[in-house]
Structure 1
Amino acid sequence: MTYTQSVQATEPVPLADDSPARILERARRLAEELRKGESERDRHRILAWEPLQAFRQSGLGALQLPREHAGADVSMATLAEVTAILAEADASVAQVALVHWSAVGLILHSALPARRPFFIERIQQGDLFGNASAEGPKHVAGFVQSSLRHEHGRYLLNGEKFYATGVQYSDWFYVPAVFADERRFVFLPTRTTGVTVFDDWTGIGQRTTASGRVTLDDVVIDPADILQAQGKGDGSNERLSGLAHVLHSAIELGIGRAAVRDTLGFIREHAHPPRGSNAQAATEDFFTIRAVGEITLLDEIAEALVQRAAAQLDLAYAELTEHAAVDALHKVCHAKIVTEQFALTAAQRLFELGGTHSALEEHNFSRHWRNSRTHSLHDGTRWKYFTLGNRVLNGKKPDPFTLGYPFTDIG
């Protein structure tokens, strides 16, 4: 089915005078709002129209904009922490925000200079940007069959995308397409002739990202919205890829934190000591306490690696060299591996420490594992190990297709 709900205009809260501390506090206030009803939205797949309207109004969609454009010009470290805060509250909303922020990064660093002010104004006004990249489960990663052609003075876009995270909620979205045997990124309004968005996402996790199919039938494209997709030899591809994948790691961090939060609450309020334990309460059981210590340590390590990767990416954007960008990607690999381990382990420990009662459907604790497992499939960790090993053993820089080529699979 196609979607019919429209997005209401909103007036975002300005960001320009906010410090990083106030930005994080703003994110925490939004997270409190997102957490209300999050489990029910997951259970019944109630699309997150209202939570994303709250995201628009928060002004956080403009975090990366320069201060002269009513943004906050935040560091990657701050953006990553904001992402983790939102992901702890609602992993689906955070995923849509990730796609939006990735699009903003693409606009700021790759859009045509004449068109950039227009998109900056739209971001200031709270417009949401989605992404439609993947072209089906049978295609090789990075394969693009969608086509852009010039005919009778018009640029026409055709194709079908397998899942398109954020598009259903968005005002604009972008797609990779082939024009004259070269790859391009194309920005276009979501509600335009020839675009059909299908509400057919059935993933077991992140159920309300609305990552359905998109078909493109002779969509007329403004030539100003066609971007080059080729690297410039200065690390631009690596930086854009690093931005998306740092935020992916932050989402895993947030999902893991949500599982830890529910684990601690359930142990304190509902769990009983396991059989064989002499403890009078679950909070006094030796092995329970030890397991909580283990997962707390993994949480700290995961957070530290995300912050380290984000700091290296900030350096890469400051230096604008391929060497700095490649170093950032390797730090991203460390963060992605460990944050995924943390999220999946924390989700599993919840049931181990909570006992049989924690498996009741009424608690819906399975969503943490489902969210992490589904999200992690966007970006295969097994290739992260390969990337790290290939550098140490053979001195090879990352292969963009195995690490995650910029914006081919970030939904």
Structure 2
Amino acid sequence: MTISQVSPKNPASIITSAQQALSVARELALAFRVDAAERDRERVLPFKPLEALFASGLGGITVPKHLGGAEVSAAVVAEVIAILSEADGAIGQVPQNHFYALEVLRINGSEAQQQRLYREVLAGVHLGNALAEFSSPSAHQRSTAVLPNGGQYLLHGRKFYATGALFADRIPTAARDAEGKEQLVFVPRHQDGVNVIDDWSGFGQRTTGSGTVVFEEVSVNADDIVPFYSAFERPTTVGPFAQIMHAAIDQGIARAAFNDMLNFINTRSRPWPDSGLDRASDDPLILDRVGQLAARLQAGDALLQEAGEAVDIAQRDPNASTVAEASVQVAVVRAWTTEVSLEAGSLLFELSGTRSALREHNLDRHWRNARTHTLHDPVRWKYPVIGNYVLNGVLPPRRGTI
């Protein structure tokens, strides 16, 4: 059977260490930050920045060392995502699905699949996603099917919230096989029958390209089909690894809102008339609010590191106990960064005012981005899971949203 090969848009550099990964992320972030406000305002999709991101080698940092990658820790992956999200929250969200698919490949892919797909990723191939559907009554149910057709398979279905698919080289797609078991199909983006529609119209995260993907009788090789269902039938880190990156996106957005708020206070803001203050930065009420948020942001950094270490332990020794601990620690930081990102965006609004935020510097994008992204696996799902684990010792469910 023919094995499909996908070439990247630009050949990638190879990153060999965690330090190098963080350095490259910071360098890219400096460039991404320059036009972030304009991209959001005009909804300019970040094709070129994402090409630069995957050409930099960042897409290959989770590839195992014995297959040529840096195999960085979950904490480093989270910090890379946070750095990129601080520069541009939309760009920071796109690689989340790429790394998620690679974690499924690491856990469930055959040796031959790992060698081939990891080699593509190290060369610069970008993986998108097509998981969610509107047609099913539950987020965990799929109607998209991949069924035998002679010596190959045919993929048929419709997906939405397909973040990254518009920019990708392959689109890992959740589909049911003939037995009703869920598979992850690594579909080439430009395969006949694949139609990626730019119809995402969210009021935040506007340039993630999270629209619709339609598959119409797409021919698929068996070699591109990786088991998905079994990643949740046993203890694995697929769920907590996915979720820690979402927490990192929110932490990055919170940092951006906080830093823009500091800049506004120091350069643009004026004290209340007759306050007796020369500068707004001397206002004790502002000092109190800024101090509180600074402390909460620092706590978010610490929680992200702690959760990353728990995921690393579970990756090295996946069992019911380690995976449960990782899931709970990640749920803690996910809940925390949800609240802090919204708080940071709201405080920026409060201190800068709607006119300057909306018209001059598009500062409202931080709150819009946080409000939109934090509804992904919402915080109301997290606290009951944490409480049930702490109070009753009940292990979290095994799924990609915990």
TM-score, scaled relative to structure 1: 0.92
Q: Which residue of 2 aligns with 1:188?
A: 187
Letter in 2 for 1:44: E
The residue aligned with 2:386 is 388
Q: Are 1:60 and 2:58 matched, yes or no?
A: yes
Measured in 2, the distance between the counterparts of 1:63 and 1:8 equals 16
Out of 123, 126, 130, the residue aligned to residue 124 of structure 2 is 126
User: Would you say the 8 A contact 2:8–2:124 is kept in 1?
Assistant: no
Query: Which residue number corresponds to residue 329 of structure 1?
Result: 327
Q: Summarize the alignment of residues 87-236 of structure 1 with structure 2, pairs less than 5 Å apart.
A: 87-136=85-134, 139-179=137-177, 180-231=179-230, 234-236=234-236
Please list the CA deviations of residues 6-46 of structure 1 after superposition, one character each: whole Å capped at 9, or x if unmatched: x9732222212x3x333212111010011121111000110
User: d(CA) in 1 for partners of 2:38 and 2:127?
Assistant: 25
Aligned match of 2:293: 295
CA-to-partner distance for each residue in 1:303-347, whole Å, 9 max, x for gaps? 111111110000001112121011100001100010011100000
In structure 2, how many angstroms separate the alpha carbons of the residues matched to 1:354 and 1:312?
A: 38
Q: Tell me, in whole angstroms, the C-alpha distance in 1 between the residues paired with 2:305 and 2:245.
A: 11
Q: Distance in 2 between matches of 1:194 and 1:227?
A: 20
Q: 1:276 to 1:341 in 2, by over 3 A?
A: farther
RMSD of aligned C-alpha atoms? 1.7
Query: Partner of 1:4 in structure 2?
Result: none
Per-residue deviation, 1:378:
1.3
Distance 1:228 1:297 in 2: 43
What amino acid is the match of 1:10? N
Match runs of 1:200-349 below 5 Å: 200-231=199-230, 234-236=234-236, 239-275=237-273, 277-349=275-347
- Aligned CA distance change for structure 1 residues 8 and 61 (closer, same or farther; 3 Å): closer
Q: Matched residues in 1 for 2:136 and 2:112: separation?
A: 38
Amino acid at match of 2:401: G
CA–CA separation in structure 1 for the residues paired with 2:274 and 2:348:
19
1:108: Cα distance to partner? 2.0
Contact 1:172 1:190 survives alignment (8 Å): yes
Q: CA deviation at 1:230?
A: 2.6
Aligned to 2:14: 14
Q: Once structures 1 and 2 are overlaid, which stretch shifts more, 260-269 or 61-70?
A: 61-70
Poorly superposed stretches of 4+, deviation over 4 Å: none
Counterpart CA distance in 1 for 2:348 and 2:158 is 40
Matched to 1:215, the amino acid is V
Aligned length: 394
Instruction: Measure, in 1, the Cα distance between the counterparts of 2:264 and 2:10.
Output: 38
TM-score (norm 2): 0.94
Corresponding position: 1:404 with 2:401 = yes
3-state SS of paired residue (1:133): coil
Name the stretch that deviates more: 142-151 or 352-361. Answer: 352-361
Aligned to 1:359, what secondary structure does the other structure show?
helix
Contact 2:256 2:366 in 1 (8 A): yes
Contact 1:112 1:224 survives alignment (8 Å)? no
Cα separation, 2, equivalents of 1:150 and 1:360:
53
**Cα distance, 1:358 vs structure 2:** 3.4
> How far apart, in 2, do the equivalents of 1:356 and 1:241 lie?
38
Whether the 8 Å contact between 2:133 and 2:139 is mirrored in structure 1 is no
Return 5+ residue gaps in structure 2 as ranges: 1-6
Letter in structure 2 aligned against 1:229? F
Q: 1:276, CA displacement in angstroms?
A: 6.2
Inter-partner Cα distance in structure 2 for 1:257 and 1:92: 14
Distance in 2 (alpha carbons) for counterparts of 1:67 and 1:100: 18
Q: Deviations over 1:189-227 (max 9, x none)?
A: 010011111010001111111111011111111112222
Q: What is the DSSP-based 3-state SS (H/G/I as helix, E as strand, rest coil) of the residue aligned with 1:186?
A: strand
1:374 aligned to which of 372, 375, 381: 372
- Percent identical among aligned pairs is 37
| Structure 1 portions without partners, runs of 5+ | 1-6, 406-411
